[in-house]
Amino acid sequence: MTASVELDLKQRLAKLSERDRRDISAYLLKLKHQSKKGRESISKLMKEMDRGRKTSLSQLVTDLGHG
């Protein structure tokens, strides 16, 4: 994505309502989790939890790219 396209998207998103931004955020998160890299990341976290390693909510937010 070019810098100008990214800037245009950011400006358009800034004009949306809070609800619309949340909906778009949820949709983008869904796309991320459907990607191979996203599935591998979630799988790694789940395996670590199965081994007893727990993650705080704030760390999970950061790991998932929402921080």
Query: Where are the chain's structural domains?
Result: 1-34, 36-67
Q: Report CA 66 to chain centroid distance, whole Å.
A: 5
Residue 16: pLDDT band with limits 50, 70, 90:
very high
Residue 64: pLDDT band with limits 50, 70, 90:
confident
Name the pTM for this structure.
0.53
What is the distance between the alpha carbons of residues 16 and 5, in angstroms, rounded to a whole number? 17
Average pLDDT, the chain: 88
What is the distance between the alpha carbons of residues 46 and 66, in angstroms, rounded to a whole number? 18
Enumerate long-range contacts of 57-64, CB under 8 Å, 24 or more apart: 64/29
